Structure 1
Amino acid sequence: MGKEKTRFVCQACGFVAPKWLGKCPGCGKWNALVEERETPARGARYATGTMARAQPITSLTVTSEVRQDTGLKELNRVLGGGLVPGSLILVGGDPGIGKSTLLLQASHQVALDGQKVLYVSGEESVQQTKMRADRLGALHERLLVATETSVPHVEQIVADVNPALLVVDSIQTVFHPDVTSAPGSVAQVRECTAHLMRMAKARGTAVIIVGHVTKEGAIAGPRLLEHMVDCVLYFEGERSSTYRIVRAVKNRFGSTNEIGLFEMKSDGLAEVANPSELFLSERPVASSGSVVVASLEGTRPILVELQALVTPTSFAAPRRMATGVDHNRVSLLIAVLEKRLGMFLQNQDAYVNVAGGVRLDEPAVDLAIAVSIASSFRDQMCSPQDVLIGEIGLTGEVRSVSRVEQRVQEAAKLGFRRIVLPRQNVDGWSPPQGIELVGINTVQEALEVVLGG
C-alpha cells in the first residue's frame, strides 16, 4: 500500500500548499492552513447520466414566477417577495444573534401555509429543537425535524419526505463521507454546498443553509460559498440591543438594498412595522448636532437620527470617527465645510453616529452630515421639525436625490413639518398637506435656513 499523501489547505481562502506554512500566501492569514488527505478526483459523482442540449434562448418558455410566502413580511421584503422554488439561500450572523429562531419561525409559517418543511439540525437534538419550538409557539404536524450531519442521509430524508423547504443548520456541521477532511473545513463546506445546490435545482426545493461567521463578521470559509448560492443574508444586531436587521448582500431574485427589521422578545422575533418611529423614539429634542435625515433602504424610506459631536483637540492630528456612515465621506464633507464655508475644523475632533445601529450608504445623507457637524461646531440647535435631504458636491453645491416624494411622505406620517432639500427636487409635484418644502442650492443656504446663518 502506497504512502498516503497529504496537503495543507487554508481555511479562509482555500489556498493549497504542499507543506505547512505559518502564513497563508493567498490571503495573508496566520495559522489558517490545516492538513488534509488528498483524495482522487470525484468528477464522476457529479455526472447526471445525460448530456445537456443547447437550445435557442428564444425557444425557451418560462413559467410565471411563483414565490413561497414565508409568513414574515420583513423576510419576504429582503428575499424579493418570498422563497423561490429551487433556490439556495445562505444565512449568516454572529453566534446567538437569532438565526435558528428566525428560520424556525419562518418554517412554521410555511407549514401553516400547507407546505411540508424539513428542518435538519446538526447542532441540536430533535428534543432540543422541540423545546425551542414550544417556546416560540412553532408547532405544526407539517414541520418535520431531524438531527443528521451526513449529506447523503439528508438527501435520502428529502427524497422520502419531499418538502417544499429544507433548512440545514448549519453547513459547518454536515459532512460528505467521500471527503476525508473534517466537517467545517474548506473541502467539506464546498462539497456539501454543491450537493445541496444540485438537489435544490433538480427537485425544485428551496434550501436555506446557516453559515457560521468569523470574528471579523464574514461568512466562515472561502468566498466560493457565497458565489455558489443564490442569496446571501446577514442577520445583524448588537448583543446589548433587542433589535435585529436582516440584510441581503447578494440576491439573484431581488434587490440587495432591502433590509428587514425584527425585535427579539421572549417568545421569538417580532416584526417592526415602522422602523422610522423606532429609530426616532429616543431622539433628544434640545441638543446641538442632532438632525433627522430621510434615507432609502431599497424601496423603503426610513427616517433616522444622525448625530455629530465636534470638540477641540490637544493633538496635532484631529480624530475623525464615523459609525453608520462612510468615514471617508465624513472627511470629505469636513473639507468642504472648511474650504467653502470658512469653518476652522483643523483643531477639532469630529465624531458622527447614526442612532439605532443602521448603516446609511447613499449620498442623500450628505446634507444631514454637514449640517450636524456645523450645528455641533457652532453649538446651535436644529429645529426638531426639520428633515434634511441632499447630496453635496466638492464645490459646496447640493445635488438632487431620487424618489424624494416617498421620503417626504414618510416624514409627513411622523409629524415633521419642514423638509430642506435640493431646489431641483421641489418642482413638478405637490407635497402632502402641512409640509413646507425649502429648496436650497448650496450648503451655505442650508445652514442659513436650519441654523440661521
Structure 2
Amino acid sequence: MAKNKSVYICQECGYESSGWLGKCPACSQWNTFVEEILKSGSKNNNIDIKDIKPVSINDVNSQAEDRYCTGFKEIDRVLGGGLVKGSLILVGGDPGIGKSTLILQVCNSIIMDSSILYFSGEESIGQIKIRADRLSVNNSKLLMVSETSFSIIETVILKEKPGLVIIDSIQTMFSEDVNSAPGSVSQVREVTGKLMRIAKDNGISIIIVGHVTKEGAIAGPRVLEHMVDTVLYFEGDRHMSYRVLRSVKNRFGSTNEIGIFEMRDIGLAEIDNPSAVMLAERPVNVPGSVVVASIEGTRPMLIEVQALVSPTNFGMPRRMATGTDYNRITLLMAVLEKRVGMQLGNFDAYVNVVGGIKIDEPACDLALIVAIASSFRNRIVDPDCVFIGEVGLTGEVRAVSHIDKRVMEAKRIGFKTCIIPSGNKKMIKQMKEVEGIQIKAVENVKEALDLLI
C-alpha cells in the first residue's frame, strides 16, 4: 500500500511546497503555508478510454444554449441573456453586502419547471426562512438543506435532479476525500471540481457563493476562478444603498458588464436608468463638478466626477482619489502643469466619483482634467455638457471606442453639448440620431479648457 504524501500549500494562492516556508515565493505572503495530506492512488481507474470518441467540429450543434430567465433584467444583462443550463457560476462579495439576499430573490423569481436546491453551510433553515419572509420569498419549488458534507450534497442533487443548485458558501463545504479543514485550498479546489462535473454531466445550473479577502479577491486559489464558467462580483459600500453586480469572467456573454441595484427594506430592487439615478443629486453651478460618459461592458452610463483643489497647509501636497486610479490622477495633474501651465505643486487635490462607481477606462481622462481645472480656477463648467476623451502625455485628446453609444446616452438624458476627441468626429458625422445635441471636437487639453473655462 502506497504511503500518503504530505505537502504544504499556501492558503492565499495555492502554491505547493514539499516543506514549510515562511514566505510564499508566488504571492509573497507570510505564514500562509499549511500542511495537508494527499491520499495516494489514482482517481481515474474507472475510466474506459474506449468510451472517449473525438467529434468533428462540423458535427457539433452550434445552436444557442438554453437559458433561464432570472426575473431580474439587470442580472440577465450581466449573465449575457439569462442563466445558462449546466453552467457553474461563482458570486463573490464582502460579508453583509447582500449576496445571499440577491440569490434568494433569484430563487423566488427564476422561471424554470424543475426544483431549486439551496444548500446552506453557514445558516440554519430557520434563519433562511426568516430572511425569506422579509423578502416575500414563497416559491414552493425552493427546497432548503443545511449541510456541509459534499458526499451528502452530491447524493441529494443526483436524487432530486433539480434545475438550479445554490451552494452558500463554498468555503464551508468539505469533501471526505481530502484530509484538510473546510475552506482550505485543497477543499475548495476539490469541491468546485466535483460541482463542475455534476453541472456538465447532468445539465444542472449551479451558483456558488464565495467569500472575498481583504484585498477584494475571491478567497482561495486562483484556479477556482479558472474552473467556473462565470465570475460575478457583488460590490458596494455597506453604508450606502447602491450595489453593483459586475461580471469579470463570462463564457456566455461579455465581460465587465454591470447591473445596478438598490438595497431596500424589502430586498434588492433593480435600477433601470442608472444614469438618471447617478445624476439625481448633482449640484448645479458649482466648480469642480463635471459629467463623463463611461462604458461599463456594453452599457453607457453618465457619471458625475467631482474635484476639489485647495492650497496645502503642509510641505508636500496631498493627492486622493476615490473611484478612480490614484496614479492616473497624478499623471493628469502633471499634464496640466506641463502643457497648460497650471501650477498645482502647492495645492491639495481630491477627486471623487459619485455613487460608489469605479471608473478605470482612459475615456474618462478629459472629464477628470476639466474637473481639476474647474476647481483650481474656481470656474463653473456648463452643467449641460458631457466630456469624452483620452488624454496623452503630450496633452493631446485621443479618440475612444463606442462614441455613438456615449453620445446617444447623453442625448437621452437631456444634455445639450458633448465634448469629444477630434478623432471621433468622422464617426459622429455618419450618425443620423445626433440631432438635438451639439458636438464639439477638440484636439488637445488646452483647446478644451479654453472652450469651457
Q: Using the alignment, how far apart are the partners of 1:237 and 1:276 within structure 2?
A: 17
Q: CA deviation at 1:332?
A: 2.2
Query: Are residue 31 (structure 1) and residue 31 (structure 2) matched?
Result: yes
Task: Output the CA distance in 2 between the equivalents of 1:306 and 1:119.
Answer: 41
How many aligned residue pairs are there?
450
1:257 corresponds in structure 2 to: 256
| Structure 1 residue aligned with 2:68 | 68
1:390–1:399 CA contact under 8 A, matched in 2: yes
| CA deviation after TM superposition for structure 1 residue 299, in Å | 1.5
1:428 Cα offset (Å): 2.2
Report the equivalent of 2:450. Answer: 448
Match of 1:231?
A: 230
State the match for 1:174 in structure 2.
173
Maintained 8 Å contact 2:3/2:40: no
- Match runs of 1:404-423 below 5 Å: 404-423=403-422
Q: What amino acid is the match of 1:444?
A: K
1:88 counterpart residue number: 88
Indicate if the aligned counterparts of 1:431 and 1:437 stay in contact, CA closer than 8 A. Answer: no
Stretch of structure 1 that moved more, 251-260 or 400-409 = 400-409
Aligned to 2:246: 247
Alpha-carbon shift at residue 50 of structure 1 (Å): 5.6
TM-score, length-normalised on structure 2?
0.94
Match of 1:53 in 2: 53
Q: Structure 1 pair 220/429, CA: closer, same or farther in 2 (3 Å)? A: same
Query: Which letter does structure 1 place at the counterpart of 2:181?
Result: A
Indicate the residue corresponding to 2:115 in structure 1.
116
Gap change, CA 1:294 and 1:45, over 3 Å in 2: farther
Residues 4, 366 of structure 1: CA spacing in aligned structure 2 closer, same or farther, 3 A cutoff? closer
User: Partner amino acid for 1:356?
Assistant: G
Q: How does 1:184-199 map to 2 (within 5 A)?
A: 184-199=183-198
Question: 2:355 is matched with which residue?
Answer: 356
Assess, with a 3 A threshold, how the Cα gap between structure 1 residues 448 and 248 changes in structure 2: closer, same or farther: same
Write the distance in 2 (CA, Å) between the matches of 1:371 and 1:26. Answer: 41
Change (3 A) 1:124 1:429: same
**Per the alignment, in what secondary structure is the counterpart of residue 172 of structure 1?**
helix
* Gap change, CA 1:397 and 1:270, over 3 Å in 2: same
Q: 1:430 to 1:56 in 2, by over 3 A?
A: closer
Q: How big is each residue's C-alpha offset from its partner over 1:47-90, in whole Å with a ceiling of 9 and x where there is no partner?
A: 47764222222232233322111111111111111111111110
Instruction: List runs of 5+ in structure 1 lacking aligned partners.
Output: none
Aligned to 1:380: 379
| 1:101 Cα deviation from its structure 2 partner | 0.7
| Contact 1:91-1:208 at 8 Å conserved across structures | yes
Which position in structure 2 is the counterpart of 1:435? 437
Q: Match of 2:21?
A: 21
Query: Structure 1 vs Structure 2: percent identity of aligned residues?
Result: 56
State the Cα distance separating 1:448 from its structure 2 match: 1.8
TM-score normalised by length of structure 1: 0.94
Range that drifts further, 435-444 or 41-50: 41-50
Contact 2:2 2:41 in 1 (8 A): no
Q: Aligned-pair RMSD on alpha carbons? A: 2.1
Measured in 2, the distance between the counterparts of 1:64 and 1:70 equals 17
Is the CA contact 2:14–2:222 (under 8 Å) kept in the aligned structure 1?
A: no
Cα distance in 1 for partners of 2:101, 2:298 equals 26
Deviates further, 354-363 or 411-420: 411-420
Unpaired runs of at least 5, structure 2: none
Deviation of 1:137 after TM superposition, in Å, equals 1.1
